[in-house]
A and B are shown apart, each in its own frame.
Chain A
């Protein structure tokens, strides 16, 4: 049985796409392995493995454009955490990556893996959602990648909208335009280190004088998929932060999420802390 497993270690994107476009077998993508090797059943059943760490184009690639940053899907969290430009210009991303797992996981686990695993508790997802990140999806047809807003990638817990043998190649994050951006990323778990989130909340906005603009709010772990909360954002946009408005935003967020009760928390608790943590974030910006 063990001899029936095929491993492909493509050296570049052309080799990778060539194998995938044939689409005769179902490939399992492996990069950091920090989730895949723990998901025993999936790992044991995989018959065709493609190693994305074999491609420097995906594994060692952080590109700084005037308009955006482009990060290879197989770049480990540690490389993002220690990247000077990303640290300076996208500190919310650095923060989210530095809260994932322990150093061993950060050194190996990858940002594309976090997205592709589609866990409602994936910590980079709400942050990428408020950053309006775009995913570049391969294999390329006619030489170009398909584009997908990160918000559209999840179909449900553990499920993506990717077709068989499609893969995430790059994550493209537009730089924030203008001054006065405020951000916060909060993670509620059993303890600080190595705990799966009960709630993660990413908030990003621009403060123009006393007015809030471009409010962006996304949550993790409190709904089957990671998503933005546009109704709550709208309540806050073009307004001045005050007690009444903040309380109103908290109530609206409760209606925009749909948490479950599970081993980590109850539905009621998750609703309440989602509102409370959002309010706590907003109060500091009054």
Chain B
């Protein structure tokens, strides 16, 4: 069956089987290899992508459900000027080690910062990232990096003025 949707701003049409997961389409067919399979059952968050602007596990979504929706992966986030701000925060806080989990963390970070209504607390950030597992950093530095981002106006402006996607 054919499925049409937007990926990183581009309209695509792919041929899938009914049981093909969104993860498989993104990683295998569209070669967006930042989207990784970790656990394959919605626990680890390595396959996180933005689905209409919100972080989801692409391993748990049948590809046909993407019809008409907007997907953004890490590759798409790199086209946004705010990505450099996030990259710098992660680097400055030493929040990156082996980096297998990193694309998922950045996607969930964006989802959190973009939709964040209240003032950031460590607890809120931990909740926002609870669906992403990291076996290297111990999380402290990742939370510090995201707190740093949330406390500065810059990233908010970059969402408001430079966000290249619909949602």
Contacts and interface: CB of A to CB of B under 8 A. Distances in A.
A102 B59 contact: no
A185 to B, nearest CB: 16
A108 B56 contact: yes
A51 B65 contact: yes
Contact of B64 (A7, A43, A44, A105): A7
Interface stretch (B4-12, B41-49, B76-84): B41-49
Interface in B93-152: 108, 111-112, 127-128, 130-132
Q: Which of B45, B112, B131 has the most CB of A within 10 A?
A: B131
From DSSP, what is the main secondary structure of chain B's interface residues? Answer: mixed
A112 to B, nearest CB: 15
B57 A104 contact: yes
Contact of A37 (B1, B18, B21, B108): B21
B29 interface: no
A84 B53 CA distance: 20
Q: How large is the interface on B (under 10, 10 to 19, 20 to 34, 35 or more residues)?
A: 20 to 34
A194 B108 CA distance: 16
Interface string A6-48: 1101000000000000000000001011100110000110000
Given A51-B62, A104-B131, A105-B57, 18 more contacts: A5-B17, A6-B18, A33-B62, A33-B65, A34-B42, A34-B57, A37-B42, A37-B61, A44-B19, A51-B64, A54-B67, A78-B54, A102-B45, A104-B48, A107-B55, A108-B57, A194-B43, A194-B130
- Which 7 residue pairs across A and B have the least CB separation, nearest first? A102-B131, A5-B18, A104-B131, A193-B130, A107-B54, A2-B17, A102-B130
